[in-house]
Amino acid sequence: MCFSVLWLVQTLVWLVVVCGLVAILMLLLPIVLGWLGVAGDLVMRVIRIIVMVIVIVALIWFLYDLYVCATVGGGVLRTPAR
């Protein structure tokens, strides 16, 4: 059941939630860290890098899951049983 409609809906919902949380975090970081001055700018850059790394790792995990689902789970590359 890798590529069912329910799976697609759940994936799209998670995508919207993650994008929304990243956007809110990126909006609030400059405001909150603006009070720290120069150190706040450095902290903001570090936090942005950490958020992007988390998003990229989640994307790689998702693409690997799709690959496994397509190859092992009876997807495109499945060979017929003899």
The token duo for 34 is 């603006």
Question: What pLDDT digit, counting tens, does each position of 21-76 carry?
Answer: 888 888 887 787 777 676 777 777 888 888 888 888 888 887 887 787 777 765 44
Q: How far apart are the first and last CA of the chain?
A: 23
Domains of the chain by residue range: 8-71
pTM over 0.85: no
Q: Evaluate whether 67 touches 76 at the Cβ level (below 8 Å).
A: no
